Structure formats: structure tokens, C-alpha cells
Structure 1
Amino acid sequence: MWKEFKEFAMRGNVVDLAVGVIIGGAFGKIVSSLVNDIIMPLIGLLLGGIDFSGLSLKFGDAVVKYGMFIQKVVDFLIIAFSLFLFVKALNKLYHRIKKEEEVKDTEPTLTKEEELLMEIRDLLKQQREVQ
């Protein structure tokens, strides 16, 4: 059982996923700071000095913090858009590399003239070798 777990844990996909989760967590913190410390204060300033994080409604003892919800939605949208741009750039790079490999793999097709010239060249080489 330990051997199977070790094989599973050391597969490339699992390690890649772990690295992605760790980087995603760090990226999420950066974006959260961007939203909380830069974007939301600017939006609040544009809307007349409103601080979204403090917006709430009270229903008896319950407090509904809808301002925090707005902030989290903006946070999510920025993260999703950033990831969209990143994946789009990676796909573009991948397709460019793939296309370059396909071009390298295909041999150029020769025209009839080029084939005849190559045959003549080969015949001349054979004649020189005979002499």
C-alpha cells in the first residue's frame, strides 16, 4: 500500500497539481491585497468615499456583511480574469511552438524542375567518380 501511495504521489500530474495549488494560494493573496488595498479604496473614492468592507445590514442580532461579499466578488473577478489572460497567453505560446515544430517536421516538396536538377547533379557526380 505504501509503495502504491508513493507511486501515486510522485506522478508528474500530482506534483504539478501541488505546485499549482501552492502558487495559486500565493497568487490569491497578491490579488486579494490588490483588491483590498488598491482597487476597492479607489472604487470607494469614485463612489463618494464608500468603504465596501464596512457595509452591512443588521437584522436583530444577525449582521449581514454585504460589503465584504461585494469585495470578494470583485476579488474573484480579478483572479478569474488574470487566470484567463495567463492561460490564453500560455495557449498562444503552446500553439506557436507546436506550429514551428510542424513546420520543421514537414519536408519541403520539390518541383519537377528541382527534381530534374537533382537527378542531373547526381548523374554528374557519378560520371566524375567513374573517371
Structure 2
Amino acid sequence: MVKEFRDFIAKGNVMDMAVGIIIGAAFTAIVKSMVGDLINPIVGLFLGGVDFTNLYVVLSGEVAAGASLEAAREAGAAVFAYGAFVMAVINFLIIAFVVFMLVRYVNKVKEAATGGKEVPAEEAPAGPSELDVLLEIRDSLKK
């Protein structure tokens, strides 16, 4: 069992996946910071500082009028927090746009580096066709 595990870990795909996850986590921190620290303040400036996070409807329980969402949850009330969902959707759209712009920029850099030429993919070596394999099977069955 230990040998199987060692062989599994030694495969290139597992190591590539581990590197991808680590880089992805670091990239997530960068994108979150970019959105939270750079983009959201600019968007807030244009929207007049609108923050939908504290918009909610009390489904059951007692909550003081004008209480924040956090205070309502601490009071034990069941709340329908539609404002937090709206902010999550807005943040997702901003993050998706920022990632789109980053990918677009990287693609332009790649294109400039290769001189606009696409690098052709290596063709897989041609093997026997399906007909060749069937004929071989037929011949072996005749023997």
C-alpha cells in the first residue's frame, strides 16, 4: 500500500495539480486584494458608497429597527439576507471581469512573444486504423 501511494504521488499529474492549487490560492489572495482594496472603492465612489450588505427581511424573531445584519443574526433572528447575496453577485462580476482582463492581457503578451504565430501542436503518431485492427483480429481467429 505504501508503494502504491509513493507511485501515485510520484506521478507528474499529482505534482502539477499540487503546484496549481498552491498558485491558485496565492492568485486568489491577489485577486481578492485587487477587488477589495482597489476596485470596490472606485465602484463605491461611482455608486455613492452604496452597500447592500445590511439589507434583509426578518422572517422570525425580534430585531430592533435599523439593526445591522450581524446584529440581527446575533439576536437569533431568522433573516432573509438578500443584500449580502446582491453584494456577493456584484463582487463575483467584478472578480470575473478582472480575471477576464488579466487573461486577455496574458494572451496578448503570449501573442507578442510568439510573433503572432500559433505554435502547432505535435501530431500523435499514426497507429493502425480500426479496419487494420479488425482484420488482424479476424486473421488471428482464423488461425
> TM-score normalized by structure 2?
0.53
Structure-to-structure mapping, 1:49-128, within 5 angstroms: 49-51=49-51, 54=53, 56-60=55-59, 61-62=78-79, 63-64=81-82, 65=84, 66-83=86-103, 85-86=105-106, 88=107, 92=111
Distance 2:105 2:14 in 1: 24
Change (3 A) 1:4 1:89: farther
Deviation string 1:95-126 (CA, Å, 9 cap, x unpaired) is 96957xxxxxxxxxxxxxxxxxxxxxxxxxxx
Instruction: Write 1 or 2 for the structure with the bigger share of helix.
Output: 1
Q: Structure 1 residue 70: deviation in Å?
A: 1.4
Distance 1:9 1:89 in 2: 35
**Structure 1: which 5+ residue stretches go unaligned?**
100-131
Distance 2:87 2:43 in 1: 13
The residue type equivalent to 1:78 in the other structure is V
Distance 2:104 2:17 in 1: 18
Deviation string 1:37-91 (CA, Å, 9 cap, x unpaired) is 1101101101222235x353325232221213311332233235424544x3686
The residue type equivalent to 1:72 in the other structure is F
Distance 2:49 2:90 in 1: 16
Greater RCO (CA < 8 Å, at least 6 residues apart): 2
Residue 103 of structure 1: aligned partner: none
Structure-to-structure mapping, 1:25-64, within 5 angstroms: 25-51=25-51, 54=53, 56-60=55-59, 61-62=78-79, 63-64=81-82
The residue type equivalent to 1:70 in the other structure is I
* Cα RMSD for the two superposed structures: 2.9
**Structure 2: which 5+ residue stretches go unaligned?**
60-77, 121-143
Contact 1:55 1:68 in 2 (8 A): no
Report the number of matched residues. Answer: 97
> TM-score normalized by structure 1?
0.57
Identity value in percent: 33
